Amino acid sequence: MKFQDLDINSNIKRALDDMGIDTPTKIQSRAIPKLLDGGRTHVLAQAKTGTGKTLAFSIPITNQISPKQKTVQAVVLVPTRELCKQVYSVVTKLNKYRKLKTVEVYGGVSIDRQRKEIRNGAQIVIATPGRLMDLYRRKAISFRDVRFVVLDEADRMLDMGFLPDIKYILFDAMKGVSPRLLLFSATMLKQITKIARQFSNGERLVELNVSKDDITVASCKQYYYKIREAGQKYASFVTLLKMEQPKSSIIFVNTRRWGDKLKKRLIQEKGLNMRFSSLHGDKTQNQRERVLSEFRKENIDCLIATNVAARGLDIPHVTHIFNFDIPREGPEIYVHRIGRTSRMENEGKAISLVTDDQMKMIREIEKFMQKPIQRLYFSENQQITIQAKSKKSSNYGESKKKSSNYSGSKRKSSNYSGSRKKSSNYGGSKKKSSNYGGSKKKSPIAVPASD
């Protein structure tokens, strides 16, 4: 099936041609026909990251709302400012010839400007929940003509504590309006399903699942590199960067402070010849937009980021994901992190750095994904090779030993920096060996493993 074969407005087809898109992805081919019927069908869709969910809901919305009616007819709720801007960009390109007024709404910028744009005839509003509620309570937006409401990355919104806001918007602010619900999520939590069924209120609810058997991107090759102690992590990581020579990568860390510190160290590191920048919640909106713009233009080789970049960033040229820190929040965040590569079926690689006390986390990730992550390790001949999984470990952590649940261990070292030894601060030891690999003992030279 091609987009040209669908019964959609010719101006939408023309815009898709301009975007170089002619064939629907799996989630698009399943969701779009369900939403073009003009009826009361609600859609609850589960699809892994990078599969084209934005077009899956924006094409039928754009096709069915009226350009002549200068009121808000569709609301798209997203968890972050970055995703808000990304969805806005896609919808704007899709509306190039349809000429629907689209407004992006998020915190950190002037609410007066957003209020003015809505008042001037906004037809599609893409918003974070908090700012949308603020506008509604100020009576700056009306939902009386809303025909579609979308929850994009619904699981992430729940993770970020937006459940009360979402319930208020759906069941209080939109009470009596009865728009169609389009709910898209990479993972389907019970609370999400409950919201969809409650909102549909007996009307037809279609559940689509195109990622049940493979929640991670199949074309992303996953590895982990086990190191003995946290103090050796930085030197090992520099070695890996020299080996991999990533064209475009995201390096994930768990804290803003360490992200900035790591960026400073890597910039000063001799022999890397890479351009680094960082992205986290302490940066202003303008700073974040500037960094992402430079990364998209490939003026930055390595973006060091917290989980603010784990969702919603759609940058096709990312070749590598490095988990300098394993995510504390659990396996689902790991899945979203590595989903920043292998976008739209491109190939990519994800490498995680793991200390002994973090191996339980790797086992939990494997169990969650129902697939092993191959281990990289320094062998005696100073080459990185792949160690085959033993029979004992093939059950993805289903041993009798109680799982750590990512934070349940009583050992302080599991928090990546809780050890009393100064060397646990990623190279902050007075010993030269933990600082940039400055020991007299020569650091092993990494050689690529065969894929």
Comparing C-alpha atoms, which of 206, 201, 180 is closest to residue 74? 180
Enter the DSSP assignment of 407.
T
Please tell me whether residue 98 adopts helix, strand or coil conformation: coil
189 and 226 housed in the same domain = no
DSSP 282-300: TS-HHHHHHHHHHHHTT--
200 and 310 housed in the same domain = no
Is 425 inside any structural domain? Answer: yes
Starting at the edge strand that comes first in sequence, how are the strands of the sheet with 302-305 ordered? 276-279, 302-305, 249-252, 320-323, 348-355, 220-227, 374-378, 384-387
Quote the tokens at residue 89: 């960009």
108 and 227 housed in the same domain = no
Distance CA 313, CA 13 (A): 25
Is 440 inside any structural domain? Answer: no
Q: Digits of tens for pLDDT over the chain (451 positions)?
A: 789 888 899 999 999 999 999 999 989 999 999 898 777 889 999 887 678 899 999 999 999 999 999 999 999 999 888 889 999 999 999 999 998 999 999 998 889 999 999 999 999 999 999 999 999 999 999 999 999 999 998 887 886 778 899 999 999 999 989 899 999 987 777 888 899 999 998 899 999 987 654 455 567 899 998 888 888 899 999 989 998 999 899 999 999 899 999 999 999 998 888 999 999 878 877 788 789 889 989 999 999 999 877 766 778 889 999 999 999 888 888 888 888 887 655 678 999 999 888 999 999 999 888 889 999 865 443 344 444 444 444 444 444 444 444 544 433 333 433 333 343 333 333 333 333 333 334 433 333 333 3
236 and 132 housed in the same domain = no
Place of tokens 């590191």: 269
Is 386 inside any structural domain? Answer: yes
Is 450 inside any structural domain? Answer: no
121 and 162 housed in the same domain = yes
Is 283 inside any structural domain? Answer: yes
**Residue 265: what are its φ and ψ, rounded to 5°?**
-65, -45
Quote the tokens at residue 90: 């896609």
326 and 396 housed in the same domain = yes
| Contact by Cβ (8 Å): 74, 101 | no
Q: State how many domains the chain has.
A: 2
122 and 238 housed in the same domain = no
199 and 248 housed in the same domain = no
Is 441 inside any structural domain? Answer: no
Read off the CATH number of the domain in which 348 is found: 3.40.50.300
DSSP 220-253: EEEEEEEES-GGGHHHHHHHHHHHH--SSEEEE-
Distance CA 132, CA 148 (A): 15
Is 446 inside any structural domain? Answer: no
Distance CA 384, CA 223 (A): 11
202 and 225 housed in the same domain = no
199 and 260 housed in the same domain = no
**Residue 352: what are its φ and ψ, rounded to 5°?**
-115, 145
76 and 122 housed in the same domain = yes
Quote the tokens at residue 429: 């030891």
Place of tokens 């815009």: 15
234 and 361 housed in the same domain = yes
Is 451 inside any structural domain? Answer: no
Q: What range defines the domain where residue 43 resides?
A: 3-209
